[in-house]
Amino acid sequence: MRPGKILHPQIASALASLGHGDIILVTDAGAPIPAEANRIDLAFCAGTVDLLEILRVLRQEIFIEDVIFADEVPESNPKLFRDVTEIFTGSGADFTLIPHKKLVADIYTSARVVIRSGSLMPWGNFGLVASTDPDAWFDDSMKMIPEYKERSARIKNNAVPRIKK
């Protein structure tokens, strides 16, 4: 067994296969997941497995540079927005807010893997854009890419995610 690590074999395998820029979509129970998607279904019954718990665990398992979600969330589900902000503070990730219809049309179809939760949570759909450890790729003999340098500083400073539209 892998103490402190994800035990679910499909999720562990999916995370190990990610490359920089790949998207993991974590959804609520009612998400319209495309039939051809690499779907990992964790929905057992209403409320279980919880979407926020999945996000918390993924946040600890992988580097994430961007979290894409519906621009309706801050106003229409402010508690969800606060919870997600808390989860991703210090991750170095930005938040990209897009209309829910665009999220369904673009992110659902381009996600490398889709993890469905059992949460009954309006606008509970999040695209996590995989990244790399910004400090692992450069040593003192190299010039760090500005985006990596900035993300490294945001991780070290426990920065709250910036909102992009």
- pLDDT tens-digit series, residues 64-116: 999 999 999 999 999 999 999 999 999 999 999 999 999 999 999 999 999 99
4 domain residue, yes or no: no
Give me the number of domains the chain comprises: 1
In a domain, 122, yes or no: yes
20 is catalytic: yes
pLDDT at 2: 62
CATH code of the domain covering residue 49:
3.40.1650.10
**CB 12: neighbour CB atoms within 10 A?**
14
Q: C-alpha 68: how far from its chain's center?
A: 8
The predicted pLDDT at position 1 comes to 52
Annotated catalytic residue, options 13, 17, 20, 164? 20
Q: Is residue 43 part of a domain?
A: yes
pLDDT at 5 over 90: no
Average pLDDT on 27-42 reads: 94
C-beta separation of 80 from 71 below 8 A: no
Q: What is the Cα 75 distance to its own chain's centre? A: 20
**How far is 116 from 142, CA to CA, in rounded Å?**
41
Given a cut of 70, whether residue 152 has pLDDT beyond it is: yes
Which residue stretches of the chain are H helix?
9-16, 51-61, 73-76, 78-88, 100-102, 108-110, 146-156
Q: For residue 63, what are the domain limits?
A: 19-157
Give Cβ neighbours of residue 10 (< 8 Å, ≥ 6 apart): 40
- pLDDT attached to residue 96: 98
